[in-house]
């Protein structure tokens, strides 16, 4: 259900946004990832900004304000276009949608992919939003209406792209009542040679398993943080990328040995949580995930992982090294 806000000046909306939402809360509301345990998280690709300031403290503070402003601008643009939805509607739709990795990437075109789960809904309207910034997905593909008898996978071809440039996108689905859900924001980079086959085998790396790197934690608050990671599928495809985090280091360390897939990972309260990030990675990608609902002044351990099938169609799981950070004291 659409929610329109009237009678507010731009200054008033911006003032309200800064007064009531932390960067983590604003981002979580915008991206709409809510867990049944009350925790929330959102994910999208890292913009790879590189700012230089006098001190690391100044850089961290200004980066946080920049992210908050970008999030607020995206919400304001949605308001201007009449597409703003109340955050309370996120996650309440009968349908569920997942953003998949882009395919058939050329220097001026690419195919965006997604998959919708109809659940109890008879039909779903699906499409993509994309652009050159994760905070401003201003382009929109044509909407497609699917019913429960159709294939759950859908795609859209976008063109007129600039070569050798990073683009961001997400899959969106609406149920019969107009309630909308959004997949994670992913990215791809257009080719610079106009002829690379995105799925050609790398003859120099035949048999190489995926490589996973767990990155740094940033923008750490008393109950939230931003966690970075990178996954390279090497010679494998359809990787299911996810993040695990919690207060018990041993459980994070044991994920790769104890489980074979994302579905098998058993959450264990504050000790172990999981977040799906990408359901079908075919090449390599950087990720940025924000988690919230953490306990203050607490050591948090985390790792990125990818599940895939090997050449014998056996399920395999690879995780990066476990990293940690400490939340601030309120």
Reported as half-sphere exposure (CB side, CA atoms, 13 A), residue 229 has a value of 31
Residue carrying structure tokens 């990155």:
215
Q: What tokens appear for 134 in the block? A: 């994760």
173 φ/ψ angles, rounded to the nearest 5 degrees: -140, 145
More confident residue, 10 or 149: 149
Mean residue pLDDT of the chain comes to: 75
| Fold (topology level) of 92-189 | Immunoglobulin-like (2.60.40)
Q: Give how far Cα 169 sits from Cα of 78, 185, 189, Å.
A: 15, 5, 11
Q: Please report the beta strands in 152-194, taking only residues with DSSP state E, as ranges in sequence order.
A: 153-158, 166-174, 180-182, 186-189
CB within 8 A of 309, min separation 6: which ones?
236, 238, 315, 316
Q: How many whole angstroms separate alpha carbon 329 and alpha carbon 176?
A: 45
> Is 203-326 assigned to CATH 2.60.40.10?
yes
Three-class secondary structure of residue 161 per DSSP: coil
| Model pLDDT for residues 16-57, shown as the tens digit of each residue | 444 444 444 444 444 444 343 444 454 444 444 443 444 555
Q: What is the rounded end-to-end Cα distance, in angstroms, of the chain?
A: 36
Rounded CA Rg of the chain: 20
The region that residue 62 occupies, defined by phi over 0 for left and psi between -120 and 50 for alpha, beta otherwise, is alpha
| Model pLDDT for residues 257-293, shown as the tens digit of each residue | 888 889 999 999 999 999 988 888 888 888 888 888 8
Q: What is the pLDDT of residue 70?
A: 64
- DSSP letters, 205-269, are GTTPPPEEEEEEEES--SSEEEEEEEEE-TT---EEEEEEEES-HHHHHTHHHH-SSTTTPPPBG
The domain ranges of the chain are: 92-189, 203-326
Q: Which of 126-130, 148-152, 298-302 has the lowest mean pLDDT?
A: 148-152
| Model pLDDT for residues 191-249, shown as the tens digit of each residue | 875 443 443 333 333 458 899 999 999 889 999 888 999 999 988 989 999 999 999 99
Q: How many whole angstroms separate alpha carbon 77 and alpha carbon 190?
A: 26
User: Percent of the chain scored above 90 by pLDDT?
Assistant: 30
* pTM, two decimal places: 0.44
* Mean pLDDT on 169-189: 87
User: Is the fold of 92-189 the same as that of 203-326?
Assistant: yes
Q: How many whole angstroms separate alpha carbon 307 and alpha carbon 288?
A: 18
Q: Which of 12-21, 152-161, 242-251, 292-301 has the lowest mean pLDDT?
A: 12-21
- Evaluated on CA atoms 17, 20, 25, 29, the torsion sign reads negative
């Amino acid at each position: 259900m659409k929610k329109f806000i009237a009678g507010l000046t731009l200054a008033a909306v911006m003032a309200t946004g800064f007064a009531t939402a932390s960067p983590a809360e604003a981002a979580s509301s915008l991206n709409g990832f809510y867990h049944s345990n009350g925790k929330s998280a959102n994910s999208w690709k890292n913009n790879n900004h590189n700012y230089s300031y006098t001190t690391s403290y100044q850089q961290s503070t200004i980066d946080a304000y920049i992210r908050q402003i970008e999030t607020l601008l995206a919400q304001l643009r949605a308001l201007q276009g009449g597409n703003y939805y109340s955050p309370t509607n996120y996650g309440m739709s009968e349908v569920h949608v997942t953003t998949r990795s882009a395919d058939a990437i050329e220097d001026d075109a690419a195919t965006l992919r997604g998959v919708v789960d109809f659940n109890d809904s008879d039909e779903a309207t699906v499409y993509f939003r994309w652009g050159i910034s994760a905070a401003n997905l201003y382009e929109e593909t044509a909407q497609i209406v699917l019913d429960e008898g159709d294939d759950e996978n859908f795609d859209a071809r976008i063109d007129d792209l600039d070569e050798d440039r990073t683009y961001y996108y997400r899959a969106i689905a609406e149920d019969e009542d107009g309630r909308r859900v959004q997949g994670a924001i992913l990215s791809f980079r257009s080719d610079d040679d106009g002829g690379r086959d995105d799925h050609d085998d790398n003859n120099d790396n035949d048999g190489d398993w995926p490589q996973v790197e767990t990155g740094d934690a940033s923008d750490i608050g008393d109950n939230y943080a931003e966690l970075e990671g990178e996954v390279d599928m090497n010679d494998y495809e359809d990787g299911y990328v996810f993040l695990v985090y919690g207060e018990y280091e041993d459980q994070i360390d044991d994920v790769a040995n104890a489980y074979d897939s994302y579905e098998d990972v058993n959450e264990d309260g504050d000790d172990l949580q999981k977040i799906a990030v990408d359901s079908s990675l075919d090449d390599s990608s950087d990720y940025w995930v924000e988690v919230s609902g953490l306990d203050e002044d607490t050591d948090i351990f985390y790792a990125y992982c990818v599940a895939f099938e090997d050449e014998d169609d056996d399920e395999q799981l690879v995780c990066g090294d476990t990293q940690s950070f400490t939340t601030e004291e309120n």
